[in-house]
Structure 1
Amino acid sequence: MRRLHSKYLGMRSLLAMTVVAASCFVAACGGGSDASSANLSPTARAAALGKNLMVRVEIDTNDAAKSGTNCADLGADWASCARGQLILENTGSRVMAAGGWTLYVHSIRRILMIEHPAFAWKHVTGDLYALTPRAGAFTLGAGERIAVPFIGEYWYQRYSDLLPRAYVVADGNATPEILEHNDTDDETRYVDRIPPGADNAAAFAATPAQVQRARAEAALPSAQQTAARALPAVLRSAPGDGAAQVGGIDLSVSGLTSSQVAALASRAAALGLTGAAVRVSGQIAGGALPGDIARSGGYRLTIARGGVNIDAFDAAGLFYGVETLLSLTPAGGGSVPAMTIEDAPRFTHRGMHVDVARNFRQPATLRRLIDQMGAYKLNRLHLHLSDDEGWRIEIPGLPELTEIGAKRCHDLTETRCLLPQLGSGPDNRSGGGYLSRADYVALVRYAADRFVEIIPEIDMPGHARAAVVSMEARYRRLASQGDKTAANAYRLLDPADTSNVTTIQFYDRRSFVNPCSDGSQRFAAKVIGEIASMHRDAGAPLSVWHFGGDEAKNILLGAGFQSLDGTDAGKGHVNLAAQDKPWGRSPQCAALIASGKAASVDELPSMFAREVSQIVRANGIGTMAAWQDGIRHANGPQDFATSSTMVTMWDTIFWGASDTVRTLAGKGYKTVLALPDYLYFDFPYAFDQHERGYYWGSHATDSFKTFSLAPDNLPQNAEIMADRDGNAFEVTSAGPAAHIEGIQGQAWAEVMRTDQQFEYMVYPRLFALAERAWHRASWERPYVEGERYRLGDTDKVDKAALAQDWAGFMSVVQNRELPKLMRTGAVARTKLGG
């Protein structure tokens, strides 16, 4: 790293000597006393620090460059950095002495510098940092504090940007102690100040669509209109005479299995429908239905005073017909208007993605989600089962994956566990756990009974640190027994690889499966084969395997960095000569490239994806899916061995999603939209610093924004919503319309440490997702090549129709569906808007 200007360094060193609230240095206070923590045993010292040391955070500025900080010389991406303070306070009565202990803190931003001579600091891995006080540098009496200035990359705009559960480890004591005062998911208990950020700026003015929305909400639809609207909305309906009284349901349907009928009965019971039952008959009519509903999931539902009848194209249609009746029925039972409904799904893929790797979700929480997905006709649950921070499924024969990869503890050698991440603490207060084989089989079976297909994802070759570390532990165990052949069988790295890499979440080269290793292919075959076997045992054979494939890169080689002698004031300085691409110094990969199997290291992820596709096909799985990164260097689906290839597309609309989806679909991929600016449910609901979430794609994604998405005409959305920062942007449709397989919501788990946080973030946005995945609204314009859209400039979209549709949807959610959601025990945000 470049040397800092001496004037700057000297000035900051003086500031760094500041000690808050009269905390005393040893030289001034005469050292410790008999009551000092220095006189305690390591175990007692750690316990005392855990009980009495509190760490609070203040962010002074999110634009440190304006106050004289040379963010570029510190190596900040795009020369962007923030300045803040860690404030260590002694809340106890015993004097705390520096020396003999280390404080471990989490930061989702790279910490670029700690500015205090009393502390040594280092990056451990991922978001974990170690701050070690220099022996004798200071003492803290009762109530005294010491401020430790720091510089972090980018900015801190949300309270959830700052992670809890700092912990201490005393020298000679292997047991870490979480700081009691920081053992909380309430960030306000340890965050003192965050500057007002862009998410609070007045520049985020209401769009014309949002103005119309407010008017429509002021004149909500009538009770009769609400009573006749299902969620998701149906293709068409015609009113009948009178109403059916639904206190319960008596199902007499042919075409559903007993377990599927039991699932519907369970749903009815959960909604309080335990009174007088209405007779529901149903049968499979197949092609006898009208052409536009004569397809999988299509049905005709006839509701009359005397009973209910369903004619369905297939078993899924029967199930969805009953769920539509249950949607129309108030919680606890009541009157449902007589009508005839003809309905069918908009998209084949109506999905929800759940990251159980960063922070585990309990099976009961996943079952509640599946209940809601089935009720609102979402049909694919994409489970992200592995990542750098965790491995979440038992694989027979590879016990280390769950014994080590599924738990976190303070073990710097990572031979017993992964190191703590994401504020988990060293004892899995969040983040730990896995699905046993029996758990997973039961979950697949439970989902299949509700017409939800589970798509498992094992992310490779990037985001694979949990697997790599676990298999290294396996290697050491078997090698120590003298069985080198078995030890190497599933080894996932090249032991001679010396590549210097920093990954997207600040790990090293152990974040990557080495695609040139024979062990990696054996590992993929073992895992895919075992999970496919679980699906067969559940009676729901696996039809889609998700390869992952995203973000296999060194972030320090990104566009926001320059060499040490670079002159661009807007980019960070790093020693580019010392940086490598993933596997850039792997002898195994060098030999493979020399053989002509791949042209360069850039092509290795796509090469590996092609090889894995052969394993997927060999297991009888028809479709391999990948994030768009994973197929970047492929020519098209013809490169892969499976009969079809699905791509999960995660560009934002304002960064070119319309062009990306057209390109992918044009090559023949089955394309699924996972748009971060509309469909990432780990983003905040509103412009509020206390709303949890990442926000790199959207500062505010409420249910209305998700509801307003036009998936088949992405350019249209530029007329309805601004970009991430509240600015208008322009999209002009180019080329033919892209066919998409569907859409899915995403619940990445970095900021969702608990299942309660997960459910708050997912519900009720899941309802808006279901509406758009199942039903195409009248205000969605057809895609026309050459049409231009821009917020505040063009006026092609019928915003009044959008607002009225929203008001009808909102009335149904608030009056019927939220009460049902609460009955099921799911924790939800009760306000739909921001």
Structure 2
Amino acid sequence: MYKYVLGLLACAISVNVFAMNQPQLDSMAKDLKVIYTLLDANSACPAKVQQCYLSELSLTLPYDLNSHNWAIYFSQLMPIVHSSNSEFEITHINGDLHRLSPSKMFSGFAGGDAHRIRFYTQDSQITRSEFMPNYILADSEGLLSAKVIASTIPTVDPETGLEVQPYLAPFNTMSQLRIHERDKTPWMGTKYLFENALRPVLTEAPIDIIPKPKTLILSSEPVVSIQNGIKLSLVNIKREGISQALFRLSTLGIHEQEQGFNVNIKRTTTATLAEQAYTLKISAQAVNIEAATEQGAFYALQSLIGLLNIETHTLPQVDITDAPHYMFRGLHIDSARNFRSKQFILETITHMASYKLNRLHLHLADDEGWRLEIAGLPELTEVGSTRCFDLSEQRCLLPQLGAGNAPDASINGFYSRQDYIDILQHAKRHHVEVIPSLDMPGHSRAAIVSMEARFERLMAQNLERDALKYRLVEPQDLSRYRSIQHYSDNTLNVCLEQTYQFIDKVLTEVQTLHEAAEVPLKIYHIGADETAGAWLNSPACSVLKYSEPSLNGYFIERISKIVTDKGVEVAGWSDGLDDVRVKNMPHVVQSNVWGTLAHGGHQVAHRHINRNWNVIVSNPDVTYFDFPYESHPMERGNHWATRAVNTRKVFEFMPDNLPAHAELWHNNYARSYIADDTSSRLEKGVSAKGIQGHLWSEMIRTDEQAEYMLYPRLLALAERAWHKPDWALRYKESRSFDKNTTFMTKGALQAREKDWQRFIALVGFKEIPKLASQGVFYRLPSVAAGKSESGQLMVFTEIPGFDIEVKTLNGWQAVSPKMLHSTALAVRAKLGRRVGRALPVSDHVLE
């Protein structure tokens, strides 16, 4: 077979009179202009395709080139199902990777003339960030060095710091925003925001903190100055437990001084203070803190920082009694799809702790990357941590998600063993627990490819026994499947014993790292979601598939026992956990319920809560921060679960009453929906144990983009995780909700609006400036713009504290009360040196 392939290759080279050399390929990669145009997000589809969109690729060279000896590899999230240009062929490789190559009909490039290739792609893509960059040009035989096509490399706008996609034509029509006739998604530009956003009413920050405490009483009017520093007195409190809060104070200019203001911190065993609870009393004489644990004292100091005026270094005199609503207050970071630097993780932990979040769910392996060094399995990071152009996948994984061809790109990388230990220890100092996750049995392509490279290496050394030990491929398995992300080979075979040997090895090494860090592994998240229909023709499964009701359930049950036997609590995504037999699961199980609210997500949550599992509310409609802030093409994000998750939506979430949102929210087509809880009600005395935000990274290639997606939404997540507001509708069983029900009273809605005004004043006037001083690349709000009756321009940002600039024919200038709407071309928010994305004032969108 090998000689046959070589013969074909030699024949192809001998007859190809249009062969390309390296200088020609380099020149073509440098000069080829690629323009991608989304023509219609709701197109009539080819036969047997229910939903699709129509696109066009335009290829232009400034000179003549008559060569058939090239191919372009590019990422298209959804598979292309039909192309109408006979001069080109488009082939789906695997995952999102496609190849475009000239057919026998190709007439060559004529200088300046564009070749246009129209094609249909199944399902939908809408936001600009879903259209991946870094197209790769290669020769047909693979003899030359592949190059990234220069015109497809994204750049950064020097004013906003946001990504620019020069290869992607403008999005300016509703046909590029809506995916079918029922889709009523609005174009959230300046006019929409002016008509729908809540205008801020407070002009300064109130005396309060984020997250809101249980009680806060202003005890006296005069403020207390701590500009000369603080003097600590500790009783039954180890300094190590509060050191990072003290360090944060020092970064704001408040240092420990012998003559500083007295701060007394006492650890008490009184029954009135639960774990993580605290009291904070600020008077003219001293700051007095009492807590049952060092964690509670740490949170009290974070509250003190929240009260601090960072300009005057003064504190209000208040009495605070506080405790969290949820003990589990989490954030999920996906470092697998696109890598997040160690520094980003450390800084994120610091910010989490500032707002009393205490669980970091760290996603370390998926199809597109393995990100944790494992002793004894070097291929996992040598091969599995990098994506580049190597179709044999001996050096790296396929260049999915627009990875390009640079092994040292920021999307590649891994955490060394010492890196991970450092992360664990940093988290411990901030009272944040790290929950590692190496997703299995689906989402495991990086592991499978890496272990196949290990197999090949050891077989070449005649070490067959060692080679087979962790091999995750069964050569005789002829199963054909396609995962949600369109892979045909990303699922571990749950019937192979070496699968469990591999997982046990990995788990043992992860637990060893935790022990080295002196941070015990308490919870391990197995993933277990989105498992494709694999194993149907696996010889290893020939018996088991008839004795087990679900092979995925069998896998989860078996892995759960392995995890539990190591003294670790098992966690998983709810869809996988639905495959198990509850009686075969450990007594303690964490379930991240991620069903969308608009499609019965509350039913899944209630079912798992009623099992007495530790349910962590993870509904994508509101907790997934990889979705856009607003339904606008320029906003980065995915779109399958919701079209907009702004800070206000996260703030308004009522995680203890999931079905109630049908009365207030819409589905991902901007339409009302029904949430019927009459047959899925919660049993008496049970509830969810926590809430978690999620930052998946398929469309997030840099740490700056990740920060943009997190802040300020992370603050609203912290608010809902720590504090249950009085306006939140209490759960009552057997209700059905829709747009016509009125369980949420007018009084409650008014109270919610008042609470929102308090919250955004704190965000805009106090917390954003703190984040800015720490170099966080937060999102500046979009500007709402409208016209007064007299024709003057009226503008605001939903979050206050930002300057607003207007673009006229004379350029950018500060907004003024007398500025006419007719003279304004665009508006943007500004704070210090940062400016936000400019939006046109005339929000005319073509149908």
TM-score greater than 0.5 by the shorter chain:
yes
Of the three residues 219, 222, 233, the one matched with 2:201 is 219
Q: Secondary structure at the match of 1:238?
A: strand
Alpha-carbon separation, structure 2, partners of 1:142 and 1:212 = 48
Percent identity between matched residues is 32
Alpha-carbon separation, structure 1, partners of 2:711 and 2:393 = 36
Of the three residues 267, 270, 285, the one matched with 1:284 is 267
Per the TM alignment, residue 442 of structure 1 is displaced from its structure 2 partner at its CA by: 0.3
Q: Which residue of 2 aligns with 1:625?
A: 571
Kindly provide the CA deviation profile for residues 617-675 of structure 1, in whole angstroms up to 9, marking residues without a partner as x: 23221x10000122122232x4224x410000001111112211111111121101111
1:378 aligns with 2:371: no
Of the three residues 536, 540, 545, the one matched with 1:588 is 540
Q: Secondary structure at the match of 1:354?
A: strand
Residues 438/216 of structure 1: CA separation in 2 closer, same or farther (3 Å cut): same
Q: Which residue of 1 aligns with 2:463?
A: 483
Unaligned 5+ segments in structure 1 are 1-36, 554-580
Residues 120/256 of structure 1: CA separation in 2 closer, same or farther (3 Å cut): farther
Q: Which residue of 1 aligns with 2:127?
A: 158
Q: Which residue of 2 aligns with 1:513?
A: 492
Task: Identify the structure with the greater helix proportion.
Answer: 1
Of the three residues 324, 328, 346, the one matched with 1:349 is 328
Residues 360/537 of structure 1: CA separation in 2 closer, same or farther (3 Å cut): same
Moved more, 323-332 or 815-824: 323-332
Per the TM alignment, residue 198 of structure 1 is displaced from its structure 2 partner at its CA by: 7.9
Q: Secondary structure at the match of 1:139?
A: coil
Q: Which amino acid counterpart does residue 122 of structure 1 have in structure 2?
A: T
Q: Which residue of 2 aligns with 1:190?
A: 167
Alpha-carbon separation, structure 2, partners of 1:205 and 1:286 = 55
Q: Which amino acid counterpart does residue 177 of structure 1 have in structure 2?
A: K
Asked if the contact 2:571/2:591 (under 8 Å) is kept, the reply is yes
Q: Which amino acid counterpart does residue 631 of structure 1 have in structure 2?
A: L
Kindly provide the CA deviation profile for residues 730-787 of structure 1, in whole angstroms up to 9, marking residues without a partner as x: 2244323551011100101001011111110011100000000000001012111233
1:434 aligns with 2:414: yes
Q: Secondary structure at the match of 1:190?
A: coil
Moved more, 37-46 or 787-796: 37-46
Moved more, 804-813 or 737-746: 737-746
1:706 aligns with 2:650: yes
Q: Residues 798-817 of structure 1: matches in 2 within 5 Å?
A: 798-817=748-767
Q: Which amino acid counterpart does residue 758 of structure 1 have in structure 2?
A: A
Q: Which residue of 2 aligns with 1:107?
A: 76
Residues 285/669 of structure 1: CA separation in 2 closer, same or farther (3 Å cut): same
Q: Residues 229-378 of structure 1: matches in 2 within 5 Å?
A: 229-241=208-220, 242-247=222-227, 248-273=229-254, 277-288=260-271, 290=272, 294-378=273-357
Asked if the contact 2:642/2:667 (under 8 Å) is kept, the reply is yes
Q: Secondary structure at the match of 1:459?
A: strand
Of the three residues 593, 604, 611, the one matched with 2:551 is 604
Q: Which residue of 1 aligns with 2:149?
A: 179
Residues 824/391 of structure 1: CA separation in 2 closer, same or farther (3 Å cut): same
Q: Which residue of 2 aligns with 1:134?
A: 103
Asked if the contact 1:236/1:341 (under 8 Å) is kept, the reply is yes
Per the TM alignment, residue 252 of structure 1 is displaced from its structure 2 partner at its CA by: 3.3
Q: Residues 389-408 of structure 1: matches in 2 within 5 Å?
A: 389-408=368-387
Q: Secondary structure at the match of 2:309?
A: coil
Q: Secondary structure at the match of 1:504?
A: coil
Q: Secondary structure at the match of 2:543?
A: helix
Q: Which residue of 1 aligns with 2:527?
A: 548
Per the TM alignment, residue 791 of structure 1 is displaced from its structure 2 partner at its CA by: 2.5
Q: Which amino acid counterpart does residue 755 of structure 1 have in structure 2?
A: D
Asked if the contact 2:19/2:68 (under 8 Å) is kept, the reply is no
Residues 133/736 of structure 1: CA separation in 2 closer, same or farther (3 Å cut): closer
Asked if the contact 1:253/1:283 (under 8 Å) is kept, the reply is yes
Q: Residues 541-690 of structure 1: matches in 2 within 5 Å?
A: 541-553=520-532, 581-593=533-545, 596=547, 598-599=548-549, 603-621=550-568, 623-636=569-582, 638-641=583-586, 643-690=587-634
Of the three residues 64, 82, 89, the one matched with 2:53 is 82
Per the TM alignment, residue 188 of structure 1 is displaced from its structure 2 partner at its CA by: 4.2
Per the TM alignment, residue 199 of structure 1 is displaced from its structure 2 partner at its CA by: 5.0
Q: Which amino acid counterpart does residue 644 of structure 1 have in structure 2?
A: V
Asked if the contact 1:297/1:320 (under 8 Å) is kept, the reply is yes
Moved more, 164-173 or 785-794: 785-794
Unaligned 5+ segments in structure 2 are 1-15, 156-162, 782-796, 800-847
Per the TM alignment, residue 284 of structure 1 is displaced from its structure 2 partner at its CA by: 1.1
In the alignment of these two chains, the number of paired residues is 742
Asked if the contact 2:384/2:397 (under 8 Å) is kept, the reply is yes
Asked if the contact 1:419/1:426 (under 8 Å) is kept, the reply is no
Q: Which residue of 2 aligns with 1:116?
A: 85
Q: Which amino acid counterpart does residue 159 of structure 1 have in structure 2?
A: R
Alpha-carbon separation, structure 1, partners of 2:641 and 2:197 = 28
Asked if the contact 1:228/1:336 (under 8 Å) is kept, the reply is no
Residues 736/629 of structure 1: CA separation in 2 closer, same or farther (3 Å cut): closer
Q: Which amino acid counterpart does residue 244 of structure 2 have in structure 1?
A: A
Q: Residues 192-207 of structure 1: matches in 2 within 5 Å?
A: 192-194=169-171, 195-197=173-175, 204=186
Kindly provide the CA deviation profile for residues 560-611 of structure 1, in whole angstroms up to 9, marking residues without a partner as x: xxxxxxxxxxxxxxxxxxxxx31111100113335x3x23xxx111211111
Residues 609/796 of structure 1: CA separation in 2 closer, same or farther (3 Å cut): same
Kindly provide the CA deviation profile for residues 772-831 of structure 1, in whole angstroms up to 9, marking residues without a partner as x: 000000101211123333235425241111111011000000000001111122111122
1:96 aligns with 2:65: yes
Q: Which amino acid counterpart does residue 675 of structure 2 have in structure 1?
A: V
Q: Which residue of 2 aligns with 1:500?
A: 480
Moved more, 496-505 or 56-65: 56-65
Q: Secondary structure at the match of 2:542?
A: helix
Alpha-carbon separation, structure 2, partners of 1:540 and 1:135 = 62
Alpha-carbon separation, structure 1, partners of 2:198 and 2:413 = 46
Per the TM alignment, residue 96 of structure 1 is displaced from its structure 2 partner at its CA by: 2.5
Residues 361/193 of structure 1: CA separation in 2 closer, same or farther (3 Å cut): same
Asked if the contact 1:227/1:337 (under 8 Å) is kept, the reply is no
